[in-house]
Chains A and B, each alone.
Chain A
Amino acid sequence: MGSALRLALVIAAKDVRAELRSRTALISALVFATLVLVIFFFARDPGAVATIDLAPSVLWITFAFAAIVALNRAFHVEREHGALDGLLLAPVPREALFLGKFLANVAFVSVVEAVALPLFVLFFNVGLAGALLPLAGVIALATIGFVAVGTVFSAMAVRTRFAELMLPVLLLPFMAPPLIAAVQATARLLAARPLSEVAGWLRLLALYDVVFVTLSTLLFPAIVDE
């Protein structure tokens, strides 16, 4: 198990390095997330809807879109020049390969979220006060869950026509539970409600992560093995 984890980290590090060298995907994703935030600010009647009422949904729709954009490219790069075949020929357990791709995707989405969150606070004039740490926890829990399923679907979608459309059609129903939980928890945290009010939502997120990270790890080999 220890060696599988080490292999997963090697694969994740390879993806992160490739991303840092080209930077085009990461910068495009950041610009995309910022644009979504800006567009959302204007997608309301300023006289009727206060920004704070909309803020939690805006934050999570932005994160969801950014994650889909990020996941769409996750296996595209592996398909070019048959890179995935090379990876599959390497003596690496398929589960470690999944964990590596999964960790790289989590890293990519986390960077986008880490940049989008301060912009969100700035644009929507949200007071985070003491809520930053619990909010970071909610973001981490939700992101881990939908990126796990998204990594599996991304590996499938690249094999289809209309891959860019196939991924959201498959993934959005799976994003629904974490998004519902995350929006509810975020709204309560932004309203400075006590932590006990979000405990139920946090448990749901944690359970989702346990179930879907495990399942995705177990099912991924069925995607890449021919």
Chain B
Amino acid sequence: MTALSPPEPLLADARRIVRRGRALSIIAAIGIAGVYVLALRFTPEEARQGLAQKIFYLHVPAAWDALLAFSLVGIVSALYLWLADPRLDCFAEASAEVGVAFSAVMLTTGPIWAKPIWGTWWTWDARLTLTLFLFFLFVGYLSLRAALHDPEERARFSAVVGILGLLLVPFIHLSVYLFRTLHPQPVVLKPSAPSLPSEMLRTLLISALCFLLLYVGLVTMRYGLGLALRAREATDAG
């Protein structure tokens, strides 16, 4: 018995998407290298924190993208339960995996900054705890996916977790906030105008743009791989 290979047009599509994602990711990586230079050489040093503050230009964009990745998983999960389009599931999977990577960047750069500034690697501050839980949610979501074989069942189950997870975030935030908080207050995403010197804001926004591009690039690549994998599964099953 010979194994059937997936129909060529589907695979060609997937390959094209992966190539496009790879190109975007490479551009983003070059951009992030540029951000290092910009942050270290051409952005003023923060008066009290000194060099330690430079990590902010990586930490904050990574955190924004992790939140973006997770919100998109939740929203796309809801759309999947409504439309049942396997491409939506494929996107949610890609976004969750890339989100784990960004959360990991956020959770490692945070303590490196916190040690010299707060004097401790880790503290149970409201936003730290929230991001830790986000990471756990992502990991749980991906473990569930890994433990299910049937693609359709996997898509439905993980969509349910994605939706519940999105609704859990405000509750975790509220409960750990009521517990206590000490994280620096927001300096950009807040109701009044950003309270950051304009050169620092410029570096931060350029970095955020590069990180966003990296998110899009990686998700596109992973999405293409997911499509190829699904084509394969469909051929094996049929």
Size band of the interface chain A makes with B = 20 to 34
Complex CA gap A177/B172 in Å reads 5
- Interface residue? B107 (CB, 8 A): no
- Interface residue? B157 (CB, 8 A): yes
5 additional contacts, CB 8 Å, given A177-B174, A184-B178?
A170-B161, A173-B136, A173-B168, A174-B168, A208-B171
Q: In the complex, are the beta carbons of B164 and A204 less than 8 A apart?
A: no
Q: List the A side residues contacting B175 at CB < 8 Å.
A: 176-177, 180-181, 204
Residue in chain A with minimal CB distance to B179: A180
The A150-169 residues at the B interface (CB cut-off 8 A) are 152-153, 156, 159-162, 166, 169
- Interface residue? A129 (CB, 8 A): no
Q: In the complex, are the beta carbons of A211 and B144 less than 8 A apart?
A: no
- Interface residue? B195 (CB, 8 A): no
The total number of A-B Cβ pairs within 8 Å is 80
A46-54, A84-92, A215-223 - the one binding chain B: A215-223
Q: In the complex, are the beta carbons of B172 and A212 less than 8 A apart?
A: no
Neighbour of B140 across the interface among A149, A169, A176, A180, CB < 8 A:
A169
The A83-135 residues at the B interface (CB cut-off 8 A) are none
- Interface residue? A137 (CB, 8 A): no
Q: In the complex, are the beta carbons of B172 and A170 less than 8 A apart?
A: no
- Interface residue? A80 (CB, 8 A): no
Q: In the complex, are the beta carbons of A212 and B164 less than 8 A apart?
A: yes
Digitize B161-188: 1 where CB-to-A-CB distance is under 8 Å, 0 elsewhere.
1011101100110111011000000000
Residue in chain A with minimal CB distance to B141: A170
Digitize B124-146: 1 where CB-to-A-CB distance is under 8 Å, 0 elsewhere.
00000000010011011001100
Q: List the B side residues contacting A204 at CB < 8 Å.
A: 171, 174-175, 178
28 A-B residue pairs with CB within 8 Å: A152-B164, A159-B148, A159-B153, A159-B157, A162-B147, A166-B143, A170-B140, A170-B143, A170-B161, A173-B136, A173-B140, A173-B168, A174-B164, A174-B168, A176-B175, A177-B171, A201-B178, A204-B171, A208-B171, A211-B171, A212-B164, A215-B164, A215-B167, A219-B81, A222-B160, A223-B156, A223-B160, A226-B152
- Interface residue? B17 (CB, 8 A): no
Complex CA gap A215/B133 in Å reads 20
Residues of A whose CB lies within 8 Å of any CB of B are: 149, 152-153, 156, 159-162, 166, 169-170, 172-174, 176-177, 180-181, 184, 200-201, 204, 207-208, 211-212, 215-216, 219, 222-223, 226
Q: In the complex, are the beta carbons of A226 and B153 less than 8 A apart?
A: yes
Q: List the B side residues contacting A222 at CB < 8 Å.
A: 81, 156, 159-160
The secondary structure that dominates the A interface is helix
Q: List the A side residues contacting B163 at CB < 8 Å.
A: 215, 219
Q: List the B side residues contacting A181 at CB < 8 Å.
A: 175
Q: List the A side residues contacting B143 at CB < 8 Å.
A: 166, 169-170
Q: In the complex, are the beta carbons of A166 and B156 less than 8 A apart?
A: no
Distance between A191 CB and nearest chain B CB, rounded to angstroms:
17
Distance between A177 CB and nearest chain B CB, rounded to angstroms:
4
* Given A159-B153, A204-B174, A204-B178; A166-B164 close (CB under 8 Å): no
Distance between B73 CB and nearest chain A CB, rounded to angstroms:
14
Complex CA gap A28/B81 in Å reads 38
Complex CA gap A162/B147 in Å reads 8
Neighbour of A152 across the interface among B137, B147, B152, B160, CB < 8 A:
B160
Q: List the A side residues contacting B161 at CB < 8 Å.
A: 153, 156, 170
Q: In the complex, are the beta carbons of B160 and A219 less than 8 A apart?
A: yes
Complex CA gap A180/B167 in Å reads 17
Q: List the B side residues contacting A201 at CB < 8 Å.
A: 178
Residue in chain B with minimal CB distance to A170: B140
Neighbour of B144 across the interface among A160, A200, A219, A226, CB < 8 A:
A160
Max count, chain A CB within 10 A of own CB: residue among B140, B143, B171: B171
Residue in chain B with minimal CB distance to A153: B161
The B167-217 residues at the A interface (CB cut-off 8 A) are 167-168, 171-172, 174-176, 178-179
Q: In the complex, are the beta carbons of B147 and A160 less than 8 A apart?
A: yes
